[in-house]
Amino acid sequence: MQDINNTQYFNVGKEPENQVKEVLKVVYEALREKGYNPVNQIVGYIMSGDPTYITSYKNARGLIMKVERDELVEEVLKDYIKNNQWK
C-alpha cells in the first residue's frame, strides 16, 4: 500500500541519442533523394518549426516531428564538437 501523503515522481526521458541520429539520417536521405538541399531544409525546419520544410517522402516529416527541435540542435552540435575534437 502506498503512502498518499508522499508525492510520486514520474520522469519522461528524452529520446535516446541514437534515435535522434536515426531520424536525422532518414530525413537527410529522404530530402536528398527528392532533390532538396538537406542542410538548408533541416535548418529551415529547426529555425521556424514549420514541418513543410521536410518532405513527407519516406515519412520523413512525421519522423522529424516526433523529435523536439532542441534535441535536433543538441545532437548536431554534440556531433560537430566531437568531430572537431573540442574537448
In a domain, 1, yes or no: no
Q: Terminal CA-to-CA distance of the chain, rounded, Å? A: 49
| Digit-coded pLDDT (tens) for 5-40 | 777 766 656 556 679 999 999 999 999 999 999 999
In the block, residue with C-alpha cell 573540442: 86
Closest to 38 (Cα-Cα) out of 53, 50, 23, 52: 53
Spell out the alpha helix ranges (H) of the chain. Answer: 17-33, 38-48, 60-64, 69-83
In a domain, 64, yes or no: yes
In a domain, 36, yes or no: yes
Give the total number of structural domains in the chain: 1
In a domain, 3, yes or no: no
In a domain, 8, yes or no: no
Residue-number span of the structural domain to which 36 is assigned: 17-83
In the block, residue with C-alpha cell 517522402: 57
In a domain, 7, yes or no: no
In a domain, 10, yes or no: no
Q: Provide the pLDDT confidence category of residue 4 given band limits of 50, 70 and 90.
A: confident
In a domain, 26, yes or no: yes
pTM: 0.77
C-alpha grid cell for residue 45?
525546419
